[in-house]
Every structure is written in C-alpha cells, then in structure tokens.
Amino acid sequence: MRHPGPDELVDAALSTRDPDPGTEAHLRGCPTCRAEVEALRGTAQLAREGADRPLQDPPPTVWERVVDELGPDLDTGPAAAPAGPGTVTTLPSRRRGPLLLAAAALVVGLAGGVGIGLTLGPGDPEVPDAPGAVPLVALDPGSGATGSTGLAEIGGRRILTVALEHSAVPAGGYLEAWLMDEGATRLYALGGLTAGGPDRWTGRFVLPADLPLDVLDTVDVSVEHFDGNPGHSGESLARGRAT
C-alpha cells in the first residue's frame, strides 16, 4: 500500500482545492495518515486563531518556574548568537512531529513554497537497512513485541530506521517513534510508524544534522491515540539504543 508523502498530506490538510481522489481514498482507510492530516489542520487552525491576538509579556514568575523545573543544567546567561533553524537547545517533554512544524510554517508562508519533510515517504529513494541494527526491548516481556533500530548516513543525511513486530495496536490507536534521553525527561517526536503487515510496523526518519544523539540516545515506541494531544501517551512498548 502506497502512503502519501509529506507534501501530499500537507496539501490534503490545508489546500483549498478539491482533494486528490487517490489521497482521499487512502485517508479513509489509513488511520495513521488520517491522524497526521487532522493534526495538521488543528495546528493551522490554532495559528490562525492566534494571529490577531496581541502578544503579552509573561510575568517574571513564569521564567522562575521554568528555571526551577529545568534545574542547574539550564544556562541562563546571555546567548552568544541566536539559535539557527532546527537547533535543539532544550527539548520539552511534549513535542510536535515534523509534519506539524510544516503546518505552522505553511500558515505564514504557503505562497513562498515552504516545505519541511523529515519522515521518509514512499516517494523517497529506497534506503538500505542500517548495518549493526540494535534490538528494541519490550518493556513488558509478556507482550511478545520484538524489533530493531538502526542508524545510517545516506547521501549526507542521518537516517534512523525503526521496526517493531508482534505488537497489536488497540482500536483507535497507532504507534509513534520517539527519541529520548536516558531519564525519559527530554523527548523528540520522530513520527508515526506505518503498518507493513500483520502486527508489523516500520518507519524511516531523517534526523536533523544538529540533533544531539549523545543526549537523545534512546529510541522509544509508544501507543498513541487520536485525542488531539501531540505529547507522549506514557504507553511505551519497547526501547533501544539510537546509536
């Protein structure tokens, strides 16, 4: 089954034209792609609703609470230079995936041809399996879930491959891959996994060049729900090393 690429999903979510019949038919039968389209629409709507609202400076107590929460590792001194696009400084525990970032960009720059695609789609060149795959270990040994993850550099891009088998997903749910630190306090959403057969789920993701894998060194696969919440559900199935 061919899944629409990121550009097609963005077009289905935000375009004012009649939807492509093939994409529309696919969305009716694919909960993973349909969830990405719904998330894109929700993000775009939030951006539109907030466009005309005046920005207000938060009270000093807000920053004080942030410092208290992040602890002594947070550098509160002046920055030497603004962080560039895609730079990860402090990763929140609730993070939107690459397609949601695309939606936010498209709301303000659709006419300028803005495009972001970090999840490899069916239209991308075939990526060979990464050598030295690392096992994904089920957090519940009785679940029978098995899998692997591998990291490879293809054409100057870091590609992370995630595969999970023997993992039944409850009705109304889907699987999502994440990167996290050892303490599971900092998360980076990679994206949803695609059903590749009975109880088999796979995904291949392009990692930003500046994503700190020395910190976010753990791959996590979780069960997520179509509840409008982009954060981690807390229902992790398996984990493994990212490198």
pLDDT tens string 220-231: 999 888 877 788
Alpha carbon separation from 184 to 17, 91, 154, 160 (Å, rounded): 42, 11, 28, 19
Note the pLDDT of residue 225.
85
**Position 117 confidence tier, pLDDT thresholds 50, 70, 90:** very low
Amino acid at 126: E
Helix (H) or strand (E) holding 191: strand 187-192
CA 96/CA 206 separation, integer angstroms: 15
**Higher per-residue confidence, 46 vs 205:** 205
Mean pLDDT of 39-49: 66
Q: What are phi and psi of 169, to 5 degrees?
A: -105, 130
Give pLDDT tens digits for 57-116.
Answer: 666 666 666 666 665 555 545 444 433 333 333 334 334 444 444 444 444 333 332 222
Give pLDDT tens digits for 199-215.
Answer: 788 899 999 888 899 99
Amino acid at 118: L
**Position 178 confidence tier, pLDDT thresholds 50, 70, 90:** very high
Tell me the β-bridge partners of 158: 153, 207
CA 116/CA 102 separation, integer angstroms: 5
Of the listed ranges 2-16, 24-38, 100-114, 163-177, the one predicted with least confidence: 100-114
Burial class (CB in 10 A: 0-12, 13-18, 19+), 168: exposed
Mean pLDDT of 152-161: 88
Q: What is the mean pLDDT of the chain?
A: 70
SS3 65: helix
Burial class (CB in 10 A: 0-12, 13-18, 19+), 112: exposed
**Position 46 confidence tier, pLDDT thresholds 50, 70, 90:** low
Range of the domain at 64: 1-243
Amino acid at 33: C
- Asked whether the beta carbons of 196 and 180 are under 8 A apart, the reply is no
Beta strand 194-197 with 218-225: parallel, antiparallel or unpaired?
Answer: unpaired
When divided into structural domains, the chain yields a total of 1
- Asked whether the beta carbons of 191 and 39 are under 8 A apart, the reply is no
User: Per-residue pLDDT for 174 more than 80?
Assistant: yes
Of the listed ranges 71-75, 118-122, 143-147, 203-207, the one predicted with least confidence: 118-122
Note the pLDDT of residue 218.
93
Of the listed ranges 44-48, 75-79, 123-127, 239-243, the one predicted with least confidence: 123-127
Tell me the β-bridge partners of 223: 175
| Nearest residue to 89 (alpha-carbon basis) of 211, 217, 182 | 211
